Structure 1
């Protein structure tokens, strides 16, 4: 039977999101490596998507913490961001985000940056809203 056009896409886990970006020159500093602020923006966006999928409502960033820049990311590299909701509170979610760097020519990939974001769910009036617990 064909899937309805309005049915949600099947996901491995609603609590995990993967996105891919490419580092263009306008994302880079004078050394030809990714600006830290751009990395944080991409990580925050991935955390937002993972938390939104989990809570199925509007979410906002309340905090970013423990951002570890482990390796520089060169212009022309692909970055894959993996964001996972790792814990939930009454109205908040902790989202861990890893940014992996991949050389397009060699295929070599490594962890470049890791961080944690606290996202808060909001109701239609902009007040904190309950979030579902993680399964299991």
Structure 2
């Protein structure tokens, strides 16, 4: 997933709000888990999110999410937030990393088994 960092998503320092970063990371985890499960999933847990570097206004953010562990009804997804600064000569860098656990559920919201167990 790719997002531009616009003024409405930044604080008074001109950097991305942490809450916005977390929401974007959760969305990326949701997409990865949904692609794996091929059914409705919900977030039940987020690990510590390590914010390594600030994300400046005007940058392009790319979120990379991958399923790293599969349980009976749940998947653990690791998400990395990479920043592509939009200025000549600037190199992309890892801004944040975190883990999320999502559970497959039925229409009543009850956990249901996943097919297979390999990420």
TM-score with structure 1 setting the length: 0.83
Cα distance in 2 between the residues matched to 1:82 and 1:71: 16
**Who wins on radius of gyration, i.e. which is larger?**
1
Cα distance in 2 between the residues matched to 1:124 and 1:48: 17
Unaligned segments of structure 1, at least 5 residues: 1-18
Aligned residues: 117
CA-atom RMSD in angstroms: 1.0
More moved, 34-43 vs 99-108: 99-108
Partner of 2:61: 79
TM-score with structure 2 setting the length: 0.94
Unaligned segments of structure 2, at least 5 residues: none
Partner of 1:134: 118
Cα distance in 1 between the residues matched to 2:114 and 2:26: 19
More moved, 20-29 vs 122-131: 122-131
Cα distance in 1 between the residues matched to 2:114 and 2:52: 32
Q: Which runs of 4+ in 1 moved over 3 A?
A: none
2:91 matches 1:117? no
